């Protein structure tokens, strides 16, 4: 019993083995119809869907090697195309250009200080210097003798023996320093019984600043395909505590107070590259981080370091069509045996690719800012020859 086969809306009773005679017409009609259908799918000179990589900002016309026609055969064609923005490695940029050292670390406090200056030791017999409520009497606790410098050394030794403060002398000046950072020592009194021959810097120690102990400042980066999210936290003193960001991997960046911004960025770069998920560079004001593997980055958090800006670049490997269109191609009458073409491009979308054709039937492209920095692209196309 023959098998009914439908091609292009027409049904043919195709014979099977052992079929009765007179089946030849059905078989040949079916074969002819299939041949016609296949011819409409891929004719002589047709080009099936294919891809070709294109680069951004190609300022000279560049061959699309797979999209070319034989001018001796092809008289006209219709080309459909789509241009996609693609990338291999996602990039993230952290701009620290407005930052200063204090933006990276928590505040480290300072010790309160004060001074006593010995002007004329010979006139200080029985004089009293009071530090944080303790009166130190010349002739009992310290000695005014020999010269001003020797007297300052003796007074510094007496003050250094007190609780909560220390003291050293340099020539005729005694410097008193609180043992600990903080504003509390700014209330330690510093008094003299002889403001002429042993003046003090102020009535109290001054300049004490409290430590700020808090979660460290940090910024985040995410590896390709969102596999691992990192926070890079700035560590310079015990004041900078690991912020322990939930769901992220912490990497300490160990700084020292004398670092310049360039030094800080070099240290950050080393910490970022140590993860092996990134390759980073720095130019003294910003950090450019490129993922070590291809893949989208969609999890991005801005840095909590003041005066810095993160600019994330990421998405899909093929981001989507930035332009689509059609090209109608018709060969004109050759001039001086040189082929010429009537070329009409109709484009849709926010592209920036211009296409042209050479006399030999080679399609070419130029691109201007259609893909964006650090991106490449591809054109997907198919061509149907209309008249050969």
pLDDT tens-digit profile of 128-152?
A: 999 999 999 999 999 999 999 999 9
- For the segment(s) 42-87+318-387, the CATH number from 1.10.530, 1.10.3470, 2.60.40, 1.10.287 is 2.60.40
Q: Dig out the tokens for 327 from the structure.
A: 């090209």
Q: Which of 4-13, 176-185, 285-294, 374-383 has the highest mean pLDDT?
A: 176-185
Phi, psi of 282 (to 5 degrees): -140, 150
Average pLDDT over residues 143-165: 96
User: How far are the Cα atoms of 52, 290, 352, 357 from residue 365, in angstroms, in the given order?
Assistant: 11, 28, 10, 9
Residue position matching structure tokens 């960025």: 265
Q: pLDDT > 90: what percent of the chain?
A: 40
- The SS3 of residue 184 is helix
Nearest to 295 by CA among 279, 318, 312: 318
- pLDDT above 60: residue 273: yes
Check: CB of residue 3 under 8 Å from CB of residue 14.
yes
- pLDDT above 70: residue 204: yes
Spatial separation of the C-alpha atoms in residues 131 and 187, rounded to whole Å: 11
DSSP string, 318-373: EEEEEEEEEEEEEEEEEETTEEEEEEEEEEESS--EEEEE-TTSEEEEEESSSS-T
- pLDDT above 90: residue 377: no
Residue position matching structure tokens 């000279």: 60
Strands of 134-137's sheet in order across: 134-137, 128-131, 190-192
Q: Dig out the tokens for 388 from the structure.
A: 């050969």
Q: pLDDT value at position 305? A: 85
H or E segment to which residue 111 belongs? strand 111-117
CATH 2.60.40 in the chain is located at 42-87+318-387
The per-residue pLDDT for range 169-186, each reduced to its tens digit, is 999 999 999 998 889 999
pLDDT category at 351 given cuts 50, 70, 90 is low
Minimum mean pLDDT range among 88-92, 141-145, 270-274, 370-374: 370-374
Using alpha carbons only, give the angle 31, 33, 39 rounded to the nearest 5 degrees: 100
């Amino acid at each position: 019993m023959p098998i009914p086969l439908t091609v292009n809306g027409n049904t043919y009773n195709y014979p099977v083995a052992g079929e009765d005679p007179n089946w030849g017409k059905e078989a040949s009609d079916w074969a002819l119809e299939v041949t016609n259908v296949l011819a409409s799918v891929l004719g002589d000179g047709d080009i099936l869907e294919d891809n070709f990589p294109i680069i951004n900002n190609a300022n000279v016309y560049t061959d699309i090697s797979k999209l070319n026609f034989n001018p001796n055969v092809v008289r006209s064609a219709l080309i459909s195309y789509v241009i996609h923005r693609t990338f291999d490695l996602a990039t993230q940029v952290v701009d620290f250009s407005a930052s200063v050292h204090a933006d990276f670390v928590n505040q480290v406090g300072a010790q309160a200080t004060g001074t006593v200056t010995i002007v004329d030791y010979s006139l200080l017999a029985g004089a009293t210097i009071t530090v944080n409520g303790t009166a130190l009497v010349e002739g009992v606790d310290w000695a005014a003798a020999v010269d001003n410098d020797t007297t300052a050394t003796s007074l510094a030794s007496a003050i250094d023996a007190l609780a909560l403060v220390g003291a050293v002398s340099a020539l005729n000046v005694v410097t008193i320093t609180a043992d600990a950072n903080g504003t509390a020592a700014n209330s330690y009194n510093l008094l003299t019984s002889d403001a002429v021959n042993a003046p003090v810097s102020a009535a109290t120690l001054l300049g004490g600043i409290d430590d700020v102990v808090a979660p460290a400042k940090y910024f985040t980066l995410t590896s390709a395909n969102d596999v691992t999210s990192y926070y890079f936290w700035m560590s310079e003193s015990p004041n900078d505590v690991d912020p322990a960001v939930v769901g992220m991997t912490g990497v300490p960046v160990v700084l020292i107070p004398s670092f310049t911004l360039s030094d800080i960025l070099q240290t950050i770069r080393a910490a970022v590259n140590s993860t092996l998920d990134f390759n980073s560079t720095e130019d003294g004001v910003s950090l450019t981080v490129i993922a070590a593997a291809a893949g989208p980055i969609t999890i991005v958090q801005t840095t909590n370091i003041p005066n810095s800006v993160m600019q994330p670049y990421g998405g899909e490997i093929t981001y989507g069509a930035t332009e689509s269109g059609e090209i109608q191609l018709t060969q004109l009458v050759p001039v001086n045996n040189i082929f010429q073409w009537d070329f009409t491009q109709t484009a849709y979308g926010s592209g920036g690719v211009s296409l042209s054709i050479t006399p030999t039937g080679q399609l070419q492209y130029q691109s201007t800012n259609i893909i964006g920095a650090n991106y490449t692209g591809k054109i997907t196309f198919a061509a149907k020859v209309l008249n050969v």
